[in-house]
Amino acid sequence: MAVQFQGQRSDYYSYRGPSALRELEYVVVEADRGQDVGCVAKAVDADHHSCEGGCDHAHHGPVVPPAKRVLRRAAPVDVQRRLTLNAEETELRRRIRELVRQHGLRMKVSEAEWQWDRNKLTVYFTADKRVDFRALVKEMARTFKTRIELRQIGVRDEAKRLGGLGRCGRELCCRLWLPQVEPVTLQLAKDQGLSLNPAQISGACGRLMSCLHYEHEFYLQAKKRFPKVGRTIRTELGEEVVMGWDIFRDTVALRDEAGEVRTVSLDSVRRQPASARPGADRPGRSVRGRSGDRQRPSPRDHSHD
């Protein structure tokens, strides 16, 4: 079963208790040198559940139970202790940030998380470069009397842990539902004809928005129906240059030799006579006669005189 912890962190555990666990139940699980408390995100019976290729797209047999176990259901006192630790973490972050400033380290502390049994304190941070925090760890261990783990994360992972609102006004996809954040490149914005201004296509983390992936395939397929931007085509008005197109209205913007720009429908471009279509009557290109038979161009077509 999948168990979720603070900051959208989750892991898989096996359970062999007398009664089945339900989603949203708090449980005590095995943790690093101790125990932790989390919430059941998804409960699955491994004996009757098969992986249909979703794990590694190769395995099609019964799911192997994870090595880590759910120890028991969490009692009310266990949940209360977890909530108390959460309430203390605001002051905890403040103290850790003060220690970072004293050591002069160029790192940003995003979050600090106690393990439920207080046997470990995990600090998540972001940094542009590699940070030597060995002296900081020693002082933190003396201050908090526990095992310290500093974990560097990327800005996308930081946004997923902290949450927030996107440009659309809704909660961040990486926080709300996106299971895995995939790399986003500037080519996605170019293919969709979006502004390349980083301020307009970047999310709360300062990186390109993950939602650029959602409609990308649609744009790639739609672009195949349109002539390329910058291409010169022959129309009933003469040679015109394709300035752009609107895939939602199925229109094409054309500019003639005089610099006048007009907008026509894609169907009107497709309905051009053969003599007006781009590439028609090119040297070396075969054409069809009225009978439909393929005809080869005459040697005169290849003359360079």
pLDDT tens, the chain, 305 aa long: 889 898 778 889 999 888 888 999 999 999 988 999 999 998 876 555 555 444 554 555 566 778 899 999 999 999 999 999 999 989 999 999 999 999 999 999 999 999 999 999 999 999 988 999 999 999 999 999 999 999 999 999 899 888 888 988 899 998 888 878 888 999 999 988 888 998 899 998 899 999 999 999 999 998 888 888 888 888 888 889 999 888 888 899 999 988 899 999 988 888 765 444 444 444 444 334 333 343 444 433 443 43
The overall pTM is greater than 0.85: no
- 50 and 90 housed in the same domain: no
Phi-psi region of 93 (alpha: psi -120 to 50; beta: other; left: phi over 0): alpha
**Assigned domain for 85 exists:** yes
**Last residue of some domain: 98, 120, 153?**
153
- 52 and 105 housed in the same domain: no
**Assigned domain for 101 exists:** yes
* Cβ-based burial of 36 (10 A; exposed 0-12, middle 13-18, buried ≥19): buried
The two beta strands, 287-288 and 2-4, are: unpaired
Q: How many domains does the chain have?
A: 4
**Assigned domain for 281 exists:** no
**Assigned domain for 297 exists:** no
The pLDDT assigned to 297 comes to 41
Asked whether the beta carbons of 100 and 12 are under 8 A apart, the reply is: no
**Assigned domain for 9 exists:** yes
From CA 207, how far away is CA 107, in angstroms rounded?
18
74-80 contact pairs (CB < 8 A, 24+): 74/25, 74/26, 74/27, 74/28, 74/37, 78/26, 78/28, 78/37, 78/116, 79/26, 79/37
- 214 and 245 housed in the same domain: no
- 32 and 86 housed in the same domain: no
CA–centroid distance for 50 within its chain: 27
The pLDDT assigned to 61 comes to 58
**Assigned domain for 288 exists:** no
**Assigned domain for 13 exists:** yes
Q: Which domain holds residue 110?
A: 81-153
**Last residue of some domain: 153, 184, 206?**
153
**Last residue of some domain: 110, 132, 153?**
153
The CATH number covering residue 113 comes to: 3.30.300.20
Q: Which residues contact 219 (CB under 8 A, 6 or more apart)?
A: 191, 192, 193, 247
- 17 and 69 housed in the same domain: yes
- 134 and 99 housed in the same domain: yes
The two beta strands, 147-152 and 120-126, are: parallel
**Assigned domain for 290 exists:** no
- Report phi then psi at 196, rounded to 5: -90, 15
